[in-house]
Amino acid sequence: MSEPLQQLKERLADIENMRAATAILEWDQQTQMPPGAAESRARQLGTLSKLAHEMFVSDETGALLEKSAQALNGADYDSFDASLIRVTRKDYERERKLPPSFVSEMTQLTALAHEVWAKARAEDNFAAFAPTLKKIVDMKRREAELRGYTDHIYDALIDTYEPGMKTADVAQMFNGLSKELVPFVAAIRERVDQVSDKPVHQDFDEDIQRRFAEMVVSQFGYDFQRGRQDRAVHPFCTSFSCTDVRITTRYERDWLNPALFGTLHEAGHGMYEQGSALELDLHGLRGGTSLGVHESQSRLWENVVGRSRGFWTHFYPKLQAEFPAQLENISLDDFYRAVNKVEPSLIRVEADEVTYNLHIMVRFEIETDLLAGSLTVDQLPEVWNAKYHQYLGITPPNNRLGVLQDIHWSGGLMGYFPTYSIGNLLSVQLYEKAVSAHPTIPEEITQGKFETLRGWMTENVYRHGRKYDPTELIQRATGEKLTPRPYLNYLKRKYGEIYGV
């Protein structure tokens, strides 16, 4: 091995270790830390992330990258070393584009913005948030100019979450979806009372909820020898290595869905992280290639598997045995329908599989117009409400249930929302590819067996970590580009049957 490459690897391993330590502190902050430690924790996180960032963007890293690239010239594209140089170079160029003064200005603005947004939302006062949001939009425009783009200013922002994805690709995706989804949702809205979700709204002991969900994800293949689950107010998955991948959940005693489907969701993220090839562990190549591909795995295990009839054919008798008083008189069919209730609603995070992408489409259209300058912050409430009326057939009665609901904009996260829809579409596209390779998968799910499905995902997605960018990975795994067709067919088949539309 060439000497610069060895030095580069040692340097990247040091950086990866500092990032992992940062992530452990963040996990602790959200699961264990006493509230009084907030300030000291902010200082510790600040120091560690500064050191890791400075070391990564330094000229030394750049010089080692160039020398290593020359030494490796002609190496096999798929090899570990060639992938390491290719991916690290892109990360390096991306991180060097924003000057430190810009980053710290943004950090300060968003730290303050969070408080302003939380207060404005609590008081349902959009005007109180508008001046801060204007500053954020201005900074995001500056950021896009610093990052650079060729077609649409919003490309520069999407690229930070979904490398290689363009505004035009996302617009095309939503066009394909909305043409069929909007009338489909309207038809279901006429028949919402066909399905009752009473079965999942009863008194469910939290400890039994935990035990049941952990049993399910163990059977999926989430490895508790290399993971654990804790409580958090806002559930998430984090990892410090492929051998230490942690998930979190929250419980509601009178509602089964948040903990049950939340655990399935986070375990999907977790299996992706645990499934990276071990050789990728040390130098920043492990984990998911993008937020969208990551979300495809959480949605796959939560919805495509966990909300399917086959899954409940196996697991419902076990759930009934855990909660006999609540469930013994409820049929499998009624329970299956209850966990798949569709209802056009105002709040994105509570949305079902069918309506979810329409919530995202509203945000995508608004963000692109804001960035392009064809929409002003002051027009937002009116435009938001009009789009909800147009796509979901409902109008928010106030801004708290409308334009003020999401935390993202106050944190400077613009270009992020489309990754949720990319994940939904891709979950079905990948699942169907796995089933066409192994037609026994649906039958195995009804027997509580998941090795074949997880094996296909590991082989085609998980083990590659960050080696390939999302468009490359999707093409390699499915033989085509991201497409809404499989997802639309899946929704129409499943919910057409449930609602008789």
Q: In terms of CB distance, is 144 or 260 closer to Zn ion? A: 260
Cα four-point dihedral sign 62, 66, 71, 72: positive
Of all residues in the shown chain, the one whose CB is closest to Zn ion is: 298
Clarify whether 273 is annotated catalytic. Answer: no
Catalytic member of 16, 143, 214, 266? 266
Q: In terms of CB distance, is 300 or 392 closer to Zn ion? A: 300
Please, which residues bridge with residue 241 across strands?
Answer: 244
Q: In terms of CB distance, is 298 or 471 closer to Zn ion? A: 298
Binding span for Zn ion by CB under 5 A among 117-125, 130-138, 293-301, 437-445: 293-301
Q: 130-149 mask for Zn ion (x: CB under 5 A)?
A: --------------------
Q: Measuring CA to CA, which residue among 16, 26, 21, 412 is closest to residue 248?
A: 26
Q: Rounded to the nearest 10 degrees, what angle do helices 418-437 and 291-299 cross at?
A: 60
- Non-local (6+) Cβ contacts of 106 within 8 A are 139, 143, 412
CB of 295 to Zn ion, least distance (A): 5
Please give the size of the binding site for Zn ion, defined by CB under 5 A: 1
Q: Which of residues 237-266 bind Zn ion (CB under 5 A)?
A: none
Q: Which of residues 296-325 bind Zn ion (CB under 5 A)?
A: 298
CB of 260 to Zn ion, least distance (A): 15
CB of 291 to Zn ion, least distance (A): 8
Q: In terms of CB distance, is 298 or 385 closer to Zn ion? A: 298
Q: Where are the beta strands (DSSP E) in 175-322?
A: 227-231, 237-241, 244-249
Alpha helices, H only, 285-393: 291-299, 309-322, 324-327, 332-338, 356-372, 380-392
Distances from the Cα of 481 to the Cα of 228, 417, 420, angstroms: 35, 20, 17
d(CA 61, CA 138): 32
Binding span for Zn ion by CB under 5 A among 66-74, 184-192, 212-220, 290-298: 290-298
Q: In terms of CB distance, is 298 or 357 closer to Zn ion? A: 298
Q: Measuring CA to CA, which residue among 90, 21, 91 is closest to residue 50?
A: 21
CB of 231 to Zn ion, least distance (A): 17
| Cβ-count burial 187-209 (b if 16+ within 10 Å, e if not) | ebbeeeeebeeebbeeebeeeeb
Binding span for Zn ion by CB under 5 A among 71-79, 201-209, 295-303, 405-413: 295-303
Residues lying near Zn ion in the complex (CB under 5 A) are found at 298
Query: Looking at the annotation, which residues are catalytic?
Result: 266
